[in-house]
């Protein structure tokens, strides 16, 4: 089983903070510019659902989840 992994595009990020609020173990915001910081590019299963939710919530489409998605069959 391959591990899902995340990438973020700081060029697109608008600093809305939805990701850091939704999955604080996976995302943080830069204290200087408010842009996303990816803490865990390969989140453990325990954080995977929240990370996936953050992908959907990001208003800028700046987060991409690569690899298998939970729930796909």
CB of 1 to ligand SF4, least distance (A): 26
**50 token code pair:** 């929240």
β-strands 63-66, 5-8 pairing: antiparallel
Q: Does 16 bind ligand SF4 (CB under 6 A)?
A: yes
| Binding-site string for ligand SF4 from residue 19 to residue 58, where x marks contact by CB under 6 A and - marks none | x-------x-x------x---------------------x
Provide CB contacts within 8 A for 18, sequence distance 6+.
54, 57, 58, 59
Q: Which residues bind ligand SF4 (CB under 6 A)?
A: 8, 13-19, 27, 29, 36, 58-60, 62-63
């Amino acid at each position: 089983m391959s591990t899902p992994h995340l990438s973020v595009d700081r060029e697109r990020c608008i600093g809305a903070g939805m990701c850091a609020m939704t999955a604080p173990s996976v995302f943080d915001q830069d204290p200087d510019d408010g842009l996303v910081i990816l803490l865990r590019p390969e989140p453990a299963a325990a954080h995977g659902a929240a990370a996936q939710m953050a992908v959907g919530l990001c208003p800028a489409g700046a987060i991409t989840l690569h690899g298998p998605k939970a729930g796909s069959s």
